[in-house]
Amino acid sequence: MEQVNTLLLLSGVLLFLGVLASTLSARLGLPFLLIFLVVGMLAGEDGPGGIRFDDFGASFFVGNLALAIILLDGGLRTRISTFRVALWPATALATWGVIATAALLGAFCTWLLGVDWRYGLLMGSIVGSTDAAAVFNLLRHSGVRLNERVGATLEIESGANDPMAILLVTVLVGIIAGTGVSTPEGVLLQLVTQFVIGAALGIGAGRLLAELLRRVRLAEGLYALLIVSGGLTVFAATNQLGGSGFLAIYLAGVIVGNQRTRATSHVLKVMDGMAWLAQAGMFLLLGLLVTPSHLVNYFWESLAVALFLTFVARPLVVAVTLKPFRFPNREIAYISWVGLRGAVPIVLAVFPVMAGIPESRLLFDVTFAVVLFSLLVQGATVPWAARRLNVEVPHSAEPLESKEVWIGRETVLALVAFRVETQSLAIGMLPSSLTDLRGRPVRCAALVRRGRPLLAPSATALKADDVVWLLASPEQVENLTALFGRQEQSDHLAVRNFFGEFVLDADSSAAALAATYGMELDAAESEGSIGELLAKRLGRRPVVGDRVGIGSMELTVRAVSGNRVASVGLKMSKSH
């Protein structure tokens, strides 16, 4: 009993200290996850805590459990619309990209570390994939809003590349240990099996969970528990059947998150807490597992590996992979830079240690050092790089509160609260006249001013800092955000600076636009709409923030609906 209490005390104290220390992350510009990793290292045998911990089996179990929960939460928050612009490029990065990165880094490690080529390739495979925990965490809490193509590519890649990395590591561990599959045909069969079983069970389980959530009435706190238990079940079952449990639980989360069920915003809040706990606990444990004094022994080798991966292997592979999809160079550069390494490589580095492979601690220590470099250098510069490479888009207002009201079994209304920000478009409007960007009316349920509800909200003009409660269809909510957000943000993200002063309907005639502003268009472009003109000039699926210069004018995609441009901003080019 005393040992149990001691363990609980240590766990609680470390988590408590980690949460408190994380408040420094924003001030210092350091990633949240790095703080927990450092707290774990300080509590370890080389730090003031002096805790000796070398249970790789327990770390492997906790790491897999935490990663499963993180991927489930990430899937729940991934909109299916993001697959419209990023499925194929992200899939290419998650498959061929992992293999190519592992091969390049493997050749470098073989030469640098003076080890057998199998060990070098194993090292490359361990750190060849990006990490979902690090990518999801930093992109969603960095304070920047990336354009959809960049953000979706990074998130889908990190959520889908684990099967390839795990396959490469397990195959190479088997080859070195003299067990497992070693023929190209066997490796290919394993890969196909992992992806097919993982995708099939993940999609099937997601649909089943969504149907259960739609039909079953539970206490509000149990919906999140149902999703987590269902997700972990499909994760373990898929692994047992030879598929990729990580892919399965991510896809199950995507399916559930994009279905209309009784598990709405309150579930995401609970899941957010679970994901934070999983990340914090995992990084604390991994910090305890490492011995910092060992890292010093391989400092220069680890630094060389990290630099080669960051500035040579990853950029080269990303450029070769994304160029055929017509990604702009600045987006390729940003995706290359945000190839974050985190818990996944460390968990993969446990594989050879548990298999008893010689020099496995060398691989583990170098991997840990590469992860530290990635979180410290790349993770800390995510916002700076986004601004530098111009892949940000202006922020839209987020609802203060959002609830779904079920009317019958299928019909749902959204009850949302927005704060009217300074210089927003909503100032001066009557709540009774509010419409979304597509002109569809919404109903004002309440208007709160200086903390007090007004008795006649529909006839009262909106002022800055008012909180307005609206009743609308769920599809309208996203189109309402532009009304309440601050129009004049800083520098280039000011709405007028970014999109231009004029808003054009994308369905308007391109010929009329050309005649009005003296633009030169060819015959085919003149026959279509402005939206079609933009799509043709871009040569790829358009996202908000895409720009096309025509003569002295610059057209910027302002809103996208499905696969088509909905509205366009117009401004004079800087050179004129």
Q: Residue 570 pairs with which residues in a beta bridge?
A: 502, 555
> Residue 349 above 60 pLDDT?
yes
Residues 413 and 280 in one domain: no
Residues 466 and 496 in one domain: no
Residues 314 and 347 in one domain: yes
> Residue 114 above 60 pLDDT?
yes
Contact 335, 152 (CB under 8 A): no
**pLDDT at residue 25, rounded to an integer:** 58
Q: Is residue 143 part of a domain?
A: yes
Question: How would residue 576 be classed by pLDDT, with cut points 50, 70 and 90?
Answer: very low
Residue recorded with tokens 């502003």:
517
Of 388, 423, 447, the residue that ends a domain is: 388
Q: Is residue 395 part of a domain?
A: no
> Residue 234 above 90 pLDDT?
yes
Residues 515 and 480 in one domain: no
Least confident of 217-221, 328-332, 386-390, 564-568: 217-221
Residues 83 and 168 in one domain: yes
Residues 129 and 106 in one domain: yes
**pLDDT at residue 575, rounded to an integer:** 46
Question: How would residue 316 be classed by pLDDT, with cut points 50, 70 and 90?
Answer: very high
Q: What is the CATH number of the domain that holds 9?
A: 1.20.1530.20
Residues 42 and 133 in one domain: yes
Query: Which has more pLDDT, 9 or 258?
Result: 258
Question: How would residue 315 be classed by pLDDT, with cut points 50, 70 and 90?
Answer: very high
- Specify the 3-state DSSP secondary structure of 520: coil
Query: How many of the other CB atoms lie within 10 Å of CB of 424?
Result: 21
Q: What is the CATH number of the domain that holds 528?
A: 3.30.465.10
pLDDT digits (tens, 9 = 90+) for 202-212: 999 999 998 88
Q: How many domains does the chain have?
A: 3
Average pLDDT over residues 37-47: 78
Q: What is the CATH number of the domain that holds 427?
A: 3.30.70.1450
Q: Is the pTM of this model over 0.95?
A: no
Q: Is residue 34 part of a domain?
A: yes
> Residue 108 above 90 pLDDT?
yes
Q: How far is CA 84 from each of CA 13, 152, 505, 540, rounded to the nearest angstrom? A: 45, 9, 22, 11
**pLDDT at residue 189, rounded to an integer:** 82
Question: How many whole angstroms from its chain centre is CA 508?
Answer: 35
Q: Is residue 430 part of a domain?
A: yes
Of 484, 513, 545, the residue that ends a domain is: 484
Q: Is residue 469 part of a domain?
A: yes
Residues 39 and 121 in one domain: yes
Q: Which of 136-150, 273-287, 370-384, 496-510 has the highest mean pLDDT?
A: 370-384
Question: How would residue 9 be classed by pLDDT, with cut points 50, 70 and 90?
Answer: confident
Q: Is residue 206 part of a domain?
A: yes
Q: Is residue 393 part of a domain?
A: no
The mean predicted confidence, pLDDT, of the chain is 81
> Residue 195 above 60 pLDDT?
yes
**pLDDT at residue 103, rounded to an integer:** 94
> Residue 268 above 50 pLDDT?
yes
Of 484, 516, 534, the residue that ends a domain is: 484
Residue recorded with tokens 């805790």:
51
Domain that holds residue 568: 491-572
> Residue 444 above 50 pLDDT?
yes
**pLDDT at residue 101, rounded to an integer:** 95
> Residue 136 above 70 pLDDT?
yes
Average pLDDT over residues 534-545: 84
Q: How far is CA 111 from each of CA 16, 119, 295, 315, rounded to the nearest angstrom? A: 43, 11, 20, 20
Residues 40 and 183 in one domain: yes
> Residue 537 above 80 pLDDT?
yes
Q: How far apart are the first and last CA of the chain?
A: 77
Amino acid at 192: V
Question: How would residue 560 be classed by pLDDT, with cut points 50, 70 and 90?
Answer: confident
Average pLDDT over residues 182-192: 75
Residues 101 and 62 in one domain: yes
> Residue 168 above 80 pLDDT?
yes
Q: Residue 413 pairs with which residues in a beta bridge?
A: 405
Residues 113 and 91 in one domain: yes
Least confident of 106-110, 267-271, 330-334, 417-421: 267-271
Contacts of 537 (CB under 8 A, 6+ apart): 548, 550
Residues 213 and 329 in one domain: yes
**pLDDT at residue 263, rounded to an integer:** 61
Q: Is residue 250 part of a domain?
A: yes
Q: What angle do CA 186, 190, 196 make, to 5 degrees?
A: 140
Residues in the chain: 576
Least confident of 88-102, 150-164, 477-491: 477-491
Q: Residue 471 pairs with which residues in a beta bridge?
A: 415, 443
